[in-house]
Structure 1
Amino acid sequence: MALTIPPRAASSSAPRAAREPARSRTGSILGQWNSAVTSYYVLTGATALLLVLGLVMVLSSSSVESLAAGRSPYAVFLDQARFALLGLPLMWVASRLPVRFYRTMAWPILGAATVFQLMVFIPGLGFAIKGNQNWVRVAGFTAQPSEAVKLALAIWLGAVLARKRPLLGEWKHALIPAVPVAAAMIGLVLIGNDLGTAMVLMMLVVGALFIAGVPLRVLGASVIAALGVAISLALSSPNRVKRLEALFGSDCDTSNGCYQTLHGGWGLATGGWGGLGLGQSREKWSYLPEAHNDFIFAIIGEELGLIGTLLVLALVGLLAFAMFRVIRRHPDPFVQITTGAIVCWIIGQALVNIGVVIGLVPVIGVPLPLVSAGGSALITTMTALGVVVSFARTEPGAAEALSARASVVRRSLAVIGRTRG
């Protein structure tokens, strides 16, 4: 007797077979996304893309002003490219140093950063730019020490708070020595009149305290105190008061403190969905001050449109995702706290910069990490991300996975070499 398959059974088996490849592909994608090396690759990939995008946009946004100043149209771009080339080996070295190195060297790193910051007050070495006494010039090289303070403070807070973690339930252990030392470092920056960098440092400290598990009542009191200091300092400066009035007042026009914000908004609006095209910005023709620095996001929106700005936001979001993933997966409290401080610094600064450009935040003069022109900020940010990459390499299972993939690449190159031979 011949065995026949009923038509309904045959028709039901075909869709099931067709669904199996789709399910396997979905499972494969999810498996790769949940891999032990996801944080490592997302960090390095997003950093590289933001760096390349930043170099392209610095070239586009600075060429006109460079020509107007009698310089080469590539002058600012070449400087930024040199800074990136300096930052790459530092980032690579930072990504290869073991976690115990950062934990052991936390105090010396903070001490070196403190001495570096104090140099801005030494006549002949320190100097001011636009009212901020926050720069040093040594042997022809110019640097902003407060950028190094960010990284040093993040590593130091991670080491101190991780060691005291069992005692953080008591307010005195939660605050001392973390808050007084952090306040002293922020105070050195504020003496130089750089409120923008000081606010970023405050966000960094709050992030470290939160990830460390400091009680919310202590953390809340610290945040309120920091906000009080920031508001009082803002109100003590006529220039800052003018910016606040321009942001919240009703008479916002180009004749007062709204000039940059208005031109930044006009640039974003002109770009529309797809932008005017790379190099076609109108605001960079001496209409928008700091077009290659603090307001480069406006030029991105004008030339690359909404698509370009969403790309920047997506890459910043990927950086945040990867760093929070390191915090969640890594078992070492030092790594968790240090990464929490760095993520609040870099992502917080990016959001503040974007908020300034779109008119949600007063103009406070902080660059867009990895994108804006500026050597000290670029090198320090790349080094900080290298530190987090080092942490990502020591996530559970990451070292084994990276070693296995490296051996596969070596075997593949060996096969290619034998084939060519």
Structure 2
Amino acid sequence: MILLFTGLIMVLSSSYVESKLTYGSEFEIFLKQALYAGLGAIALVVVSTWSIKKLQQFAPLMMLIVLGLLLVVFIPGLGDEVGGQRNWIDFGGIFRIQPSEFAKMSLVIWGATLLSKRNKHEHNFKAHTGPLLIGTAITLALILAAGDLGNVIIIALTVGAMLFAANLPIKYFGYAALAGTAMVAVLAYLKPYRVQRITSWLNPELDPLGSGYQAMHAKYALASGGLFGQNIGGSKEKWGTLPEAHTDFIFAIIGEELGLLGAFTVLLLFTAFCISLLVLARRTDSDFIRYASAGAFGWIGSQAFINIGAVLGVLPIMGVPLPLVSAGGSSLIPTLATIGMLISFARLEMSSAKNSATLNR
């Protein structure tokens, strides 16, 4: 929850300039984010009370709803294009949702449900792995058709983490890595803006006012923060200089206002969260909990790594938010709902441990 509160504070600090220019109020974006956090907190509490059986019962329906929403983005008048990606659904200007963000949670629950049904002693993975791979392929194809390569990579890593936890033979990961690398290379070549992102990643100084502009100013923000930062509210880059300061590049503002110590603390919090998921997946006797925890690790861990890596300049810019921190309800609400699921897992494991201790007395 420290990450969530940090995110709310930094959204307020990084968005008030953009909020004033766009909505006429310095607090509009922050108030929306606070509302999303409230809705996400409700989802967290509700999901934390669900049993594994209930999650498994809802998994197919959730997946079908998400696939339907992924199709809706292509309907004229409903689907909305932002930043060259047609991956939003606009509800009459009142609010928008990004179905690809909800696809991550749905695939984690549905994938864990399928994989937990397979026989551990069978070496034939087709019975339950086949449907998961087909469903994942359809999901990825729809998201890719919308132009969202960043979420395609994250979802692929999410499902890959679940399959790794299910002991899928390593050779298949090698095949997938080769195919994925080739696909990304082809897709990058076919879209000029993706080529520009790769070029600006390798050498942003070549086009400091064009494709390298965002990467350059992210570095300026981080560098100007020093060790202790410019204090909350003291960022200069958020004054219209750094695009997406409150969303995809909020980590740069964290570095500028909270300094190296603040940015490093955020990294430590994500690391601790991911380690806790690995510990849960390793210790549990429940296959469903193991696969769902591994999937959550693959999703949240890879998304944080990709976002922060892009800000630091070690990865190309892919346009994905920083989980729990960046502004946006489509990312925050399903993430908090998933954390609610993980809390229920932890509660079950604690109860199981207590029962085992009682029996061993």
Q: Normalised by the size of structure 1, how large is the TM-score? A: 0.81
CA distance in 2 between partners of 1:131 and 1:186 (Å): 17
CA distance in 2 between partners of 1:191 and 1:256 (Å): 26
For 2:97, which of 131, 136, 143 is the aligned residue?
A: 143
Cα pair distance change 1:236/1:276, threshold 3 Å: same
Q: Does 1:294 align with 2:248?
A: yes
CA contact 1:206–1:223 (8 Å) conserved in 2: no
- The corresponding residue for 2:159 is 205
Deviates more, 1:174-183 or 1:75-84: 174-183
Cα pair distance change 1:329/1:292, threshold 3 Å: same
Deviates more, 1:349-358 or 1:195-204: 195-204
CA deviation profile, 1:136-157 (whole Å, cap 9, x unmatched) = 1236331111111111111111
For 1:194, which of 144, 148, 153 is the aligned residue?
A: 148
The offset of 1:167, in angstroms, is 6.2
Give the AA of the match of 1:109. Answer: M
Q: Does 1:72 align with 2:2?
A: no
Q: Does 1:123 align with 2:46?
A: no
- The corresponding residue for 2:180 is 226
Identity %: 39
CA contact 2:114–2:128 (8 Å) conserved in 1: no
CA contact 1:261–1:359 (8 Å) conserved in 2: yes
- The corresponding residue for 1:13 is none
CA contact 1:174–1:214 (8 Å) conserved in 2: no
- The corresponding residue for 1:63 is 16
CA deviation profile, 1:276-316 (whole Å, cap 9, x unmatched) = 11100010011100000000000000000011101101110
Cα pair distance change 1:357/1:170, threshold 3 Å: same
Matches of residues 182-331 of structure 1 in structure 2 within 5 Å?
182-249=136-203, 251-331=205-285
Q: Which runs of 5+ in 1 are unaligned?
A: 1-47, 402-421
For 1:87, which of 31, 40, 52 is the aligned residue?
A: 40
CA distance in 1 between partners of 2:211 and 2:264 (Å): 27
Matches of residues 19-58 of structure 1 in structure 2 within 5 Å?
48-58=1-11
The offset of 1:105, in angstroms, is 2.2
Matches of residues 95-110 of structure 1 in structure 2 within 5 Å?
95-110=48-63
The offset of 1:214, in angstroms, is 0.5
SS in 2 for 1:278: coil
For 1:111, which of 53, 64, 81 is the aligned residue?
A: 64
- The corresponding residue for 1:352 is 306
Give the AA of the match of 1:129. Answer: V
Cα pair distance change 1:287/1:165, threshold 3 Å: farther
SS in 1 for 2:8: helix
Give the AA of the match of 1:138. Answer: F
Which entry has the higher C-alpha Rg, 1 or 2?
1
CA distance in 2 between partners of 1:158 and 1:339 (Å): 9
CA distance in 1 between partners of 2:140 and 2:119 (Å): 23
Q: Which runs of 5+ in 2 are unaligned?
A: 356-361
CA deviation profile, 1:3-27 (whole Å, cap 9, x unmatched) = xxxxxxxxxxxxxxxxxxxxxxxxx
Deviates more, 1:74-83 or 1:161-170: 161-170
Give the AA of the match of 2:305. Answer: L
Cα pair distance change 1:171/1:390, threshold 3 Å: closer
Q: Does 1:376 align with 2:330?
A: yes
The offset of 1:50, in angstroms, is 0.5
Cα pair distance change 1:243/1:60, threshold 3 Å: same
Q: Normalised by the size of structure 2, how large is the TM-score? A: 0.94
Give the AA of the match of 1:113. Answer: V
- The corresponding residue for 2:358 is none
Give the AA of the match of 2:234. Answer: Q
Q: How many aligned residue pairs are there?
A: 354
Give the AA of the match of 2:344. Answer: S
The offset of 1:224, in angstroms, is 2.2
SS in 2 for 1:133: strand
- The corresponding residue for 1:30 is none
Cα pair distance change 1:83/1:269, threshold 3 Å: same
Q: Does 1:181 align with 2:149?
A: no
CA contact 1:168–1:214 (8 Å) conserved in 2: no
Give the AA of the match of 2:2. Answer: L
The offset of 1:117, in angstroms, is 1.6
CA distance in 2 between partners of 1:252 and 1:175 (Å): 46
